[in-house]
Amino acid sequence: MTLIIAPPTRLESALAYLNGLLAGSEREVRELRRSPDRLMALVTAPLLTLVFLAIMLQAGREDLAPFAVLAPALLVLWQMALQTSGDTVESERENGSLEALVVAPAPFPAVITGRIAAVTTVSMLGFVESWLVAALVFGVRVEIYHPWVFVGAVLATAYATAGSAMALAALFVRTRAARAFQNTLTYPFYILGGIIVPVSYLPDWLEPATRLVFLSWSSDLMRSSLDAGPVQGVALHLVMIVLLGTLGGVVGGVLVRRALAEVRQTGTIGHA
Amino acid sequence: MVGTRLPRGTTARVVLASSRNAWADLAATFTPLTWTLGWLGRIVAQVIFYALIGSLLGSPDRMRYLYIGAAVVATAMETLLVVSTSTRERYSGTLPLLVASPSRLWPVFLGRSVQWLPSGVATATVALFAIGPAFGVRFTLSSGFAAFGVLVLVAITTYGYGLALAALVLRFMRLRNWATNLSYTVMMLICGVTVPLSFWPVWLQGAAQVFPLTHTLHVIRLLEGGTGDSLTILTSLGLAVLTSLGWYGVAAFLLERLATAGRRRGSIEFAES
Amino acid sequence: MQYGRAVGSAVAVVGLRREFGGRRGQPVVTALKDVNLQIPEGEIHGLLGPNGAGKTTLCKILSTVLLPTRGSVEICGYDVESETAAVRRLIGIVFGGERGLYTRLTARGNLEFWASLYGLSGTQSQRRVGQLLERLGLDQRADTRVETFSRGMKQRLHLARGLIGDPRVLILDEPTTGMDPVAAQEFRTLVTSLQTEGRTILVTTHDMAEAEAICDRVTLIDHGSVLATERPSTLGRWITRYARVRASGLLPAQVAPVTAALSGLDGVATVHEVAEGTLLVDTAADGAAPAVMRLLLDLGITDVATTRPDLAEVYLRVIGNRGMRVDR
């Protein structure tokens, strides 16, 4: 018997993608409810807000409070995306179902995107937490002077986080040591992303590297939006955030697809 | 008649035998290369992350303060991994066998996670003495040696706290990472790691005293500044040892209770997962 | 070395009951109710029953990992509740599956660890570990990490670990779970050889063939109660007598009339449709199975097979207690 499979139409592909997207986000919400570890960043964020704020206040620099409040929220965003992309790949691998997932009808990139979109939405809570804790514990109210810029920056950042997470997922598919990478991709990135200390304070030779990390543009723009003075270069910052995010997403998507093609040929996913 | 007492030295032999498991874990987790590039690199990045806040504040003193705090807390953080290793022990399904053996549980868990002690001392040593000078951290030769000794004490004393936490978490294993990270962040907050104790209200300063880290870190700062008299230093070290002994006691008590309560409630499964 | 107080019973269980739950409004579940069991020294005793029958609960109580709710349990005359320390030096436990071993240590490393827990000094430990490795055929791989071991090798290591304290009573809970037939056979041979050293062995299983192969006596347990203690040959006879017939490939229209016809035969206990077009016929009398098969063939149903019945069900039929349901 010969089995003939017609190439899917564009509509069918789109529907399959949408399906994968929904399946991915549902799965992520389920995982978040099921495993407390996935919410870790949200649990420690309030304490970290206090740590950072205490440093500023103790030094008599209440003017830097916005820096301290913003940092934990960005940490949450990055940590949760990192964790999701790593765990998506690693948990499937541990189950021995990574191969199965990659060849399943719903496209794998769509599933990952769905999961990352869901977790990024949840991680927005980090902003609420750190603002609340600052106000409740230290009575520090960080005002958002340029709300539209802030909202724009947050949305662009969420988008870029999702895109970068796709690139990370591609990296994790390719290596066996996803969990080890997850660890290494934290603090070096917080420095290069200017999460608390603007990258302008870093040595000059590091500057080009920081500009490739979308977080450095995000943190700059968000901090400007919390400052009473006029915001400079809104468009440039937004464009750079979106651009770097898109780049991560596209490169990641291509790499994941390539891994997928490899699986179809060899039956297993190559690992470095 | 069956003797109910085990031969002398059994407890020590159990601790030692269990520690072999710890070294095997370390060897399986890291190669010297991955430890250096992956683990050490991550910790150093974390220390620098905090030190840079000092440069944001425009104060070399603050930078030095933050650097030392973040470096020393790294040792504490690593020894808290005793929580994760202990839960790993339970996940491996040995608990019923350990409970049914003639020995007690606490020596097994005491030895089980010791790999994190040298690892934690090593990361902080590199951070403090090799990279620290770039951030204004200066030790004389003798104060450096003394500080190294105190780092060892940081590891050993915090291990006691970590073991007590582990004993507690063995009942709520899903919360192991919450317990570790929350403990560690609380230490960052109140133990004089990022801001002096005097910043906090008195009751919180009091709470900070139960963490051995508060006392040991204080000593390292004194040694670095060259300002400590020996009486102050010895008092602080003594307090660190005392609080730590308290934690070791709590750990042993909780571990033995884990066994007795488990027998009563039936929470120790043969095929645990 | 002198062991035990009373000569005679290695295991003595009287009126044992164990309940779970009952805290904060949870329902009380009774895992064992009024269990009585005497195992003489040197016997290989099987504990046979379906999953959830209470076998593991009994093993846990015998091995001091669980306390009884009521009743008394003694190992070589020592009470598991009040003389725990003595009991722990008398018993060894082995359970099936991959768990309970340190996969990152070598076989020798594992055994040396457990030797320390049983109070063996350095030289004693070396000698005993060496003997056990050789005896269980692990000496060639003694210094390899356990994570590279096959299932059968891991299980032999489990057994070696269970023997490290030189136990008088060895408790084996489903020891051959997940083993391939050859490895399981080897394992059983090893267990039988332990009997010659005068050890008492309690082995739980849900496999009648395993029980028949190694046990002197078998206790049938279900729903937390002991149904019977018999020699395995007796149980074996029941099983062959009360065969179970499976007929497949019936058309939907055939199911009802065939069921009716079969139910009318002498010696047929029950007829169930277990899947679409598949009937399971349990017999309860000599010669009933051949009659069932003949009838099925006459009705044009040729996809017919006989299988061994569930032991607990057979027992219930033998004692005529048809009102008790046995769930698997």
> In this predicted model, what pLDDT tens digit does every residue of B199-245 receive, in sequence order?
999 999 999 999 999 999 999 999 999 888 899 999 999 999 999 99
Share of chain C above pLDDT 90, in %: 41
Please tell me the predicted confidence (pLDDT) of residue C315: 66
CA dihedral (B34, B40, B42, B45) in degrees, to 10, reads -140
Q: Which residues of C touch B264 (CB under 8 A)?
A: 67
Question: What SS3 string covers chain C?
Answer: CCCCCCCCEEEEEEEEEEEEECCCCCCEEEEEEEEEEEEECCCEEEEECCCCCCHHHHHHHHCCCCCCCEEEEEECCEECCCCHHHHHHHEEEEECCCCCCCCCCEHHHHHHHHHHHCCCCHHHHHHHHHHHHHHCCCHHHCCCEHHHCCHHHHHHHHHHHHCCCCCCEEEEECCCCCCCHHHHHHHHHHHHHHHCCCCEEEEEECCHHHHHHHCCEEEEEECCEEEEEECHHHHHHHHHHCCEEEECCCCHHHHHHHHHHHHCCCCEEEEEEEECCEEEEEECCCCHHHHHHHHHHHCCCCCEEEECCCHHHHHHHHCCCCCCCCCC
A191 and B182 in contact by Cβ < 8 A? no
Q: Which residues of B touch A183 (CB under 8 A)?
A: 38-39, 42
Chains in contact with C, counting 3 or more C-beta pairs less than 8 Å apart as contact: B
Asked if residues A51 and A75 have their Cβ atoms less than 8 Å apart, the reply is no
Q: How far is C63 from chain B (nearest CA, A)?
A: 6
Distance (Å, rounded) from C-alpha C78 to C-alpha C88?
10
Q: Which of B1, B2, B30 to mutate to test the interface with C (most CBs of C within 10 A)?
A: B2
* Per-domain boundaries in chain B: 10-265
Which residue, C126, C133, C121, is CA-closest to C163?
C133
B195 and A55 in contact by Cβ < 8 A? yes
Q: What is the pLDDT of residues B157-182, one digit of tens each?
A: 999 999 999 999 998 888 888 999 99
Asked if residues C75 and C87 have their Cβ atoms less than 8 Å apart, the reply is yes
Indicate the average pLDDT of chain A: 84
Sequence-separated (6 or more) residues with CB below 8 Å from residue B72 = B124, B128, B151, B154, B193, B213, B216, B217, B220
Which DSSP state fits B135? G
Which residue's structure tokens are 């190294």? B148
Distances (CA, A) of B211 to A211, B226, C302: 41, 24, 78
Please tell me the predicted confidence (pLDDT) of residue A268: 58
Distance (Å, rounded) from C-alpha C322 to C-alpha C313?
9
If one compares C7 and C51, the residue with the highest pLDDT of the two is: C51
Q: How far is B142 from chain A (nearest CA, A)?
A: 31
Please tell me the predicted confidence (pLDDT) of residue A47: 95
Closest residue in C to B7 (Cα) is C119
Chains in contact with A, counting 3 or more C-beta pairs less than 8 Å apart as contact: B
Touch C-B: 3+ C-beta pairs under 8 A: yes
B20 and C109 in contact by Cβ < 8 A? yes
Q: Which residues of C touch B24 (CB under 8 A)?
A: 102, 104-105, 109
Q: Which of A73-77, C224-228, C274-278, C308-312 shows the highest mean pLDDT? A: A73-77
Please tell me the predicted confidence (pLDDT) of residue C311: 65
Residue A85 has pLDDT above 50, yes or no: yes
Least reliable range by pLDDT among A94-98, A146-150, B75-79, B215-219: A94-98
Q: What is the pLDDT of residues A15-27, one digit of tens each?
A: 887 888 888 888 8
Please tell me the predicted confidence (pLDDT) of residue C320: 53
State phi, psi for C66 to the nearest 5 degrees.
-140, 140
Distance (Å, rounded) from C-alpha C241 to C-alpha A209?
81
Share of chain A above pLDDT 70, in %: 83
Q: How far is A172 from chain B (nearest CA, A)?
A: 15
Distance (Å, rounded) from C-alpha B230 to C-alpha B221?
13
Q: Report the relative pairing of strands C225-230 and C217-222 from DSSP bridges.
A: antiparallel
Residue A33 has pLDDT above 50, yes or no: yes
CB-defined contacts A:B, below 8 A: 92
Residue A181 has pLDDT above 70, yes or no: no
What DSSP assignment string belongs to B69-103?
HHHHHHHHHHHTTHHHHHHHHHHTT-HHHHHTSSS
Q: What is the mean pLDDT of residues A89-98?
A: 63
Please tell me the predicted confidence (pLDDT) of residue C211: 82
Q: What is the pLDDT of residues C222-270, one digit of tens each?
A: 888 888 888 887 877 777 777 788 888 888 888 888 888 888 888 888 8
Share of chain C above pLDDT 70, in %: 91
If one compares C323 and B78, the residue with the highest pLDDT of the two is: B78
A58 and B177 in contact by Cβ < 8 A? no
Q: Is B195 on the interface with A (CB under 8 A)?
A: yes
Total domains, chain A: 1
Q: What is the extent of the structural domain holding A252? A: 21-27+38-266
Residue C106 token pair? 């070598």
Which residue, C107, C106, C124, is CA-closest to C115?
C124
Q: How confident is the model at residue C1 (pLDDT cuts 50, 70, 90)?
A: very low
The identity of residue A108, as a single letter, is F
Asked if residues B129 and B144 have their Cβ atoms less than 8 Å apart, the reply is yes
State phi, psi for C86 to the nearest 5 degrees.
-65, -45
User: Is A87 inside any structural domain?
Assistant: yes
Touch C-A: 3+ C-beta pairs under 8 A: no
Asked if residues C205 and C213 have their Cβ atoms less than 8 Å apart, the reply is no
Share of chain B above pLDDT 90, in %: 79
Please tell me the predicted confidence (pLDDT) of residue C323: 38
Please tell me the predicted confidence (pLDDT) of residue B271: 65
C95 and B271 in contact by Cβ < 8 A? yes
Chain B window 73-102: which residues touch A at a Cβ cutoff of 8 Å?
A: none
Residue B77 has pLDDT above 90, yes or no: yes
Q: How far is C2 from chain B (nearest CA, A)?
A: 6
Q: What is the mean pLDDT of residues C196-217?
A: 86
Q: What is the mean pLDDT of residues C41-51?
A: 89
Q: Which of C66, C69, C74, C173 to mutate to test the interface with B (most CBs of B within 10 A)?
A: C66
Please tell me the predicted confidence (pLDDT) of residue A104: 61
Q: What is the pLDDT of residues C97-120, one digit of tens each?
A: 778 899 999 999 999 999 999 999
Q: How confident is the model at residue B66 (pLDDT cuts 50, 70, 90)?
A: very high
Please tell me the predicted confidence (pLDDT) of residue C313: 66
Give buried/exposed letters for C253-264 (b at 16+ CB in 10 A, else e): ebbeebbebbee
State phi, psi for B211 to the nearest 5 degrees.
-90, 120
Please tell me the predicted confidence (pLDDT) of residue A1: 45
Distances (CA, A) of B78 to B51, B98, B121, B194: 19, 26, 9, 18
Closest residue in B to A50 (Cα) is B189
Compare CB distances from B195 to A35, A40, A58 and report the shortest one's residue: A58
Please tell me the predicted confidence (pLDDT) of residue A16: 80
- The chain B residues in contact with chain C (CB within 8 A) are 1-4, 6-7, 9-10, 13-14, 16-18, 20-21, 24-25, 27-28, 92-94, 96-103, 108, 262-264, 266, 268, 270-273
Distance (Å, rounded) from C-alpha C242 to C-alpha C289?
8
Please tell me the predicted confidence (pLDDT) of residue C326: 41
